[in-house]
A and B are shown apart, each in its own frame.
Chain A
Amino acid sequence: GAGVSQTPSNKVTEKGKYVELRCDPISGHTALYWYRQSLGQGPEFLIYFQGTGAADDSGLPNDRFFAVRPEGSVSTLKIQRTERGDSAVYLCASSLARTDTQYFGPGTRLTVL
């Protein structure tokens, strides 16, 4: 079946701009996770949703980062006033329930010039 999909695959933006990254989880998966991965490092947790609500947003670095999942399926990660330090690969994962295995998407590579 279809896995987790993320769009766009690559995003180049200028410092100070606003970006939105989209994640389509595996159909029927209730839990959805966002991670950020810098070059040479493992993924770093940002936020996770159980259904429509953010169950844990402790990994969001500051208030420029925000994520939504209004209908409990697709999620959008929003970054305001982007900075060069936001450049990274943003990964999305989903699981059937919060206790189940997480399956990752291919990621969105964000470059802030």
Chain B
Amino acid sequence: DAKTTQPPSMDCAEGRAANLPCNHSTISGNEYVYWYRQIHSQGPQYIIHGLKNNETNEMASLIITEDRKSSTLILPHATLRDTAVYYCIVRVISTNAGKSTFGDGTTLTVKP
């Protein structure tokens, strides 16, 4: 699986949009971009994933650049409960798919 690079930490004001970047310059054509988050002492929570089109669900939006070398997770109206470590991973989706390779993620702190 391709490697991802994320900033170690970010701050965001409550009620504002949080934009979390991720670089995955070595991504392959059959690799999806996945985002998870982990709130202290809990297991990682799935947020969203995409291949090349932008995606939106009830939690967030995922913007993937046209060359697929980077992406941005957008939390449109951050709340204090969004404070967590956010992981961007790329994962092969094929008959050989299996493990996910996590980096150290971005610690997002939402401040009042």
CB 8 Å contact bits of B73-112 with A (1 = contact, 0 = none): 0000000000000010000011101111111110000000
Asked if A99 and B94 sit within 8 Å, CB to CB, the answer is yes
Check if B21 is an interface residue, CB within 8 A of chain A: no
Task: Looking at the assembled complex, report how far the CB atom of A100 sits from the nearest CB atom of chain B, in whole angstroms.
Answer: 9
- Chain A residue total in the interface (Cβ 8 A): 25
From 39 to 71 in chain B, residues with beta carbon under 8 angstroms from any chain A beta carbon are 42-46, 49
A43 to B43, CA, bound (A): 10
- Chain B residue total in the interface (Cβ 8 A): 21
- Inside 8 A of B95's CB, which chain A residues have their CB? 98-99
- Inside 8 A of A59's CB, which chain B residues have their CB? 99
Asked if B99 and A42 sit within 8 Å, CB to CB, the answer is no
- Inside 8 A of A48's CB, which chain B residues have their CB? 98-99
A2 to B3, CA, bound (A): 32
A14 to B46, CA, bound (A): 34
Task: Looking at the assembled complex, report how far the CB atom of A1 sits from the nearest CB atom of chain B, in whole angstroms.
Answer: 14
Residues of B within 8 A of A (CB): 34, 36, 42-46, 49, 87, 93-95, 97-105
